[in-house]
Chains A and B, each alone.
Chain A
Amino acid sequence: MGYKLGQYIPGSSLVHRLDPRVKIAAVMLVSITVLRADAFIVVAVTILLAGITFIARLSLAHLLRAVRPLVIFFALIFLVHLFFTPGAPSPLPLATYEGLYRGVLLTWRFVFLILSAAILTMTTLPSELISGLERCLRPLRPLGIPSHDVAVMVSIVLRFVPTLLQELDQIKEAQMARGADFKAGNLLARMKRVSSLVIPLIRNSILRAEEVAMGMEGRGYHRGPRTYMRELRMTPSDYIILALLVILTGLGVYRW
């Protein structure tokens, strides 16, 4: 199974080495800024993004791969704006120049949101992301969000997605060996066959969950505080970048 956990691209650039908390904060801050951005901010932020991509030694192909899943949706939004925005008519029937401008701006905002998050995952190991997430959620503990337990659950998800995919393949093969054809029949027949995949998958997952829970308790897991093998330490460059980010976001929001 070709499933890859995350899109991490190994490297040792400044972006790779930044504290995951700083990177998570960066994506949050920049995403908020860009949400109501005008053309000026969009251009400024695009230049920033290009700079980060260069420093992190990521290629354009990497970035395109991240956007691809949502291309159809983006195209739809772009076209709706292009054709349904009132304004000066353009050579294309129904389309307006205002529509073109709005379509490009809005679509680019969304592409940007996807790209900034993609750069985060491409330059940060999943386990570092979880550590960063756990630290970022700690201030919410008084609100009843147990950061330690959330981190453990996220790591269980990442641990078991590939295993469940392997299992899905096995169930599928077993059923095809018994003559099930997943590409024939009417809709109802296909739906039935999907149920015959999903039911064993869930049934096994329930038994699995029981055993996983027991295994965790057997290894002394209890809800609440625990320590971590991985330590996060902010370096001077982390602080400098964070300060720069806050200033830039402030400037961006000021322009709203």
Chain B
Amino acid sequence: MIKVENLVHRYDGDDVPVLRGINLEIKEGEYVAIIGPIGCGKTTLIKHLNALLIPTEGNVWVDGMNTRDTSLAGEIRRRVGMVFQNPDNQIVGMTVEEDVAFGPENLRLPPGEIRRRVTEALEAVGMGSYAQRHPHTLSGGEKRLVTLADILAMNPRYIALDEPTSSLDPAGREMVLTLLRGLNKQGIAMIHVTHNMDEITGADRIIVMEDGRIVLSGTPGEVFSGV
């Protein structure tokens, strides 16, 4: 379980906090959608879920581990995978398979195990035949799938996604959403940040953010009837 308690975040040099007291629990296997206007703090919030940011006030626990404890950052990041908005800047390998291997290599797994995970992760996103391709030759949708494989290769329990379908065409978007639902069925919790209402009807829970706060939280039925 991920537990966020009274989370306040202020970026260095800013007077006004981006997050002003967030309380949130995400259970294992849950599909949580976070929506809200641009600048409401949703991206900042999910960066806290895998210790990329440390709270200015309050606490974030991932399976009981406090993100303030820097010695736990590695384990927290293994459990909570992070998929950023622009896939191009998340791919660091010269080839697709080397990129997918990057995470497991950071976990210091033995070579055979890395190879096995890379193959599995690429198969899981349907990119098995792209292993040797260079990233700059891939389409936007293909790059997005590679970044999902990147995270899957680390065997995460949770995946936080920041606008994973922005910049994709309708077909690419449908493919990614289907993939996310499939992974969720296999037990991986999804924390899906978006500003697109159509994408979140299948979520277990919807969280509406505004101006650094959670203003509404509930099942899609509850939230949409409240709007």
Contact = CB atoms under 8 A, between A and B. Distances in A.
Q: Do chains A and B touch in the complex (CB under 8 A)?
A: yes
Interface residues of B, number: 41
B90 A158 contact: no
Given A126-B94, A218-B52, A228 B77 contact: no
B212 interface: no
A127 B77 CA distance: 26
Chain A contact residues, majority secondary structure = helix
Binding site of B, secondary structure by majority: helix, strand, loop or mixed? helix
B144 interface: no
B106 A156 contact: no
Contact of A211 (B74, B90, B95, B136): B90
B157 to A, nearest CB: 14
A219 interface: yes
B33 interface: no
A158 B94 contact: yes
B92 A230 contact: no
A156 B92 contact: yes
Interface residues of A, number: 31
Interface of A: 5, 126-127, 130, 152, 155-156, 158-159, 162-163, 166, 208, 211-212, 214-222, 225-231
28 contacts: A5-B94, A155-B98, A163-B88, A163-B135, A208-B88, A211-B84, A212-B90, A212-B92, A214-B84, A215-B84, A215-B92, A217-B52, A217-B77, A218-B82, A218-B84, A219-B77, A219-B82, A219-B150, A222-B73, A222-B106, A226-B105, A227-B105, A227-B109, A229-B97, A229-B101, A229-B105, A230-B111, A231-B111
